Amino acid sequence: MIAPDALKGYRGAARDVLTRFSVRVWSDVEMDTTRGKFTGIILPRSETADDRHIVLKLRTGYNIGVAVSTVKEILETGYREAHYKIPEREFPYDPAKPRVKLLGTGGTIASRLDYRTGAVIPAFSPGELYGSVPELADIGNLETEKLYGVFSENMGPEQWIGTARAIGREIEKGVDGIVIGHGTDTMHHTAAVLSFMVQNTPVPIVMVGSQRSSDRPSSDAAMNLICSTKVAAESDIAEVMVCMFGPTSDQYCLLHQGTRVRKMHSSYRSTFRTIGDVPIGQVSPDSIRTIRKDYRRRRKDRNVTIQAVFEPKVAIVQYYPNMQPDIIEALIDNGYKGIVIAGTGLGHVNKPLYPALRRAHDKGIALFMTVQTLWGYAQMYVYDTGRDLMDLGIVPAENMLPEVAYVKLGWTLAQTTDLAEVERIMLTSYAREITEREPHDGYLIFQAGAPWLQEHFRKFWK
């Protein structure tokens, strides 16, 4: 007889099947179904989910829902309760080591399984962190603080401002480096906005996340945390950066400038790429190797400027063929103060949008053009379309990435509504968001695009 709480969350048909085969939540099982055989662990079921599926964690780490109607037999091969509980340990203090502050905002890196619902939820505790990645203590003294516990689609102006202020506080307190745990989905938006809100940082500010939660064997959480903490503690790079998994072979992480980085793959661990530039460097648990040398250097002073402001009435419009002007009209009528367009090619949209864009300009809305190709510059003097759009008052934003131009415009419009000043700020490069030229070899060679290329170029990296 199975104890009722051994079937956490399971009801109805699913509960009946588990009871029939005498298996429980956390049982290791071999399941024979009409769709084939599956081997894994039975996970708790969300209390709000249907009663027709059993959730199985496969050996690969993926969770699947098996329809109870397909189950022929379930055999329990083992049982270990709460596989995914992270052991808590007190972080050891070593006065000789640098002081690193880890600010948590949420995302997969701060996630673990919720035993009640079976879902991956944000959680964050210093003890858990050290319990799961003890190597961190070899690098520095880590203090942690949970600022937020959200998946990153829920980060926005309020959290950006709060994070910038927290960074300012920590720098004044004297930390040697800051790590910010963040969901990967919008990490590049936050990295960009912090590059503007936090100016002249004397210490490294390193954003980190993970694509796969730490309960999965292929998790990138530990590697990313070790690399980012190492950069925060030891590097001389005083910039806002993103430090994430590099090649798929677990060799190193890539270190990206906060304004030149983008999440480029929805599920690979190797997802962040520097766009329009080469990464700042490569980081492994034993070494930091810089690729670019023109970064700002670490300083002893605490002269950081925090400009934590944001005008929320700003939008990005990703142009697509056949876009109707009512999209632009809606932004005008709803009081938007700035629009960043991600145009086609060198920075174009179709003619039917022109009257709406003219009206937007006449209303004093700041209009900037970026390119949806991501690499390259808005060059609006090449074709008639570009020239027409510039006549309508749209300003090409050089090679600023669309998301970067978006957060920069929100930050700028919160400081001034004088359009000439807005343009001046937008076209001044604060943190490499605009560069004079883009390297032709940025993507594949330095970013682990192809292993054979890596091997080839290793010879020249001495």
- Residue 259 annotated to the active site: no
CA atoms within 13 A on the CB side of 241: 34
228 interacts with ligand ASP by CB under 6 A? no
Distance set, CA 240 to CA 166, 169, 189 (Å): 14, 16, 12
CA atoms within 13 A on the CB side of 372: 13
Site string (164-193) toward ligand ASP, x via CB under 6 A: -------------------xxx--------
Give percent helix, percent strand, percent coil of the chain, each to the nearest 5: 30, 25, 50
104 interacts with ligand ASP by CB under 6 A? no
C-alpha to C-alpha distance for 323 and 292, rounded to whole angstroms? 40
Site string (50-89) toward ligand ASP, x via CB under 6 A: ----------------------------------------
CA-based nearest residue to 411, from 312, 339, 316? 312
Q: Work out how close the CB of 191 gets to ligand ASP at its nearest, in angstroms, rounded to a whole number.
A: 13
Catalytic member of 105, 108, 190, 259: 108
The smaller minimum CB distance to ligand ASP, of residues 261 and 341, is found at 261
Q: Work out how close the CB of 357 gets to ligand ASP at its nearest, in angstroms, rounded to a whole number.
A: 33
Q: Work out how close the CB of 455 gets to ligand ASP at its nearest, in angstroms, rounded to a whole number.
A: 29
C-alpha to C-alpha distance for 373 and 375, rounded to whole angstroms? 6
Written as six digits, the tokens of 413 are 């419009």
Catalytic member of 57, 230, 263, 408: 263
- Residue 236 annotated to the active site: no
The smaller minimum CB distance to ligand ASP, of residues 215 and 311, is found at 215
The smaller minimum CB distance to ligand ASP, of residues 130 and 151, is found at 151
Site string (410-429) toward ligand ASP, x via CB under 6 A: --------------------
- Residue 108 annotated to the active site: yes
Q: Work out how close the CB of 131 gets to ligand ASP at its nearest, in angstroms, rounded to a whole number.
A: 20
The smaller minimum CB distance to ligand ASP, of residues 156 and 439, is found at 156
**82 Rama class: left (phi>0) / alpha (psi -120 to 50) / beta:** left
Written as six digits, the tokens of 453 are 């290329």
3-state secondary structure of 144: strand
The residues, ordered by sequence, that sit 6+ positions from 305 with a Cβ below 8 Å of its Cβ are: 198, 199, 200
The smaller minimum CB distance to ligand ASP, of residues 191 and 380, is found at 191
Q: Work out how close the CB of 154 gets to ligand ASP at its nearest, in angstroms, rounded to a whole number.
A: 8
C-alpha to C-alpha distance for 355 and 209, rounded to whole angstroms? 43
* Contact in structure between 386 and 394 (CB atoms under 8 Å): no
Quote the DSSP letter at residue 211: S
Q: Work out how close the CB of 123 gets to ligand ASP at its nearest, in angstroms, rounded to a whole number.
A: 13
107 interacts with ligand ASP by CB under 6 A? yes
Residues 144, 159, 163, 211: which binds ligand ASP (CB under 6 A)? Answer: 211
- Residue 388 annotated to the active site: no
- The count of chain residues that interact with ligand ASP, using the rule CB under 6 A, is 9
Name residue, tokens 């480029």. 264
Q: Work out how close the CB of 220 gets to ligand ASP at its nearest, in angstroms, rounded to a whole number.
A: 9
The residues, ordered by sequence, that sit 6+ positions from 58 with a Cβ below 8 Å of its Cβ are: 38, 39, 40, 64
Distance set, CA 215 to CA 54, 79, 109, 112, 222 (Å): 19, 17, 10, 7, 11
* Contact in structure between 430 and 404 (CB atoms under 8 Å): no
The smaller minimum CB distance to ligand ASP, of residues 185 and 311, is found at 185
**Residue with CB nearest ligand ASP?**
183
The smaller minimum CB distance to ligand ASP, of residues 201 and 213, is found at 213
Most distant CA pair in the chain: distance in Å?
79
Residues 132, 144, 152, 270: which binds ligand ASP (CB under 6 A)? Answer: 152
Catalytic member of 184, 271, 370, 385: 184
Written as six digits, the tokens of 80 are 């270990």
Site string (191-210) toward ligand ASP, x via CB under 6 A: ------------------x-
C-alpha to C-alpha distance for 414 and 315, rounded to whole angstroms? 14
Q: Work out how close the CB of 181 gets to ligand ASP at its nearest, in angstroms, rounded to a whole number.
A: 9
Residues 26, 124, 130, 151: which binds ligand ASP (CB under 6 A)? Answer: 151
The smaller minimum CB distance to ligand ASP, of residues 15 and 269, is found at 269
Helices (H) and strands (E) in the chain, counts: 12, 23
Q: Work out how close the CB of 147 gets to ligand ASP at its nearest, in angstroms, rounded to a whole number.
A: 14
The smaller minimum CB distance to ligand ASP, of residues 159 and 257, is found at 159
Rounded to a whole number, what is the distance in angstroms from the first to the last CA of the chain?
66
Catalytic member of 176, 185, 220, 277: 185
C-alpha to C-alpha distance for 274 and 259, rounded to whole angstroms? 9
User: Which positions are catalytic?
Assistant: 108, 184-185, 263
Give the binding site for ligand ASP (CB under 6 A): 107-108, 151-152, 183-185, 209, 211
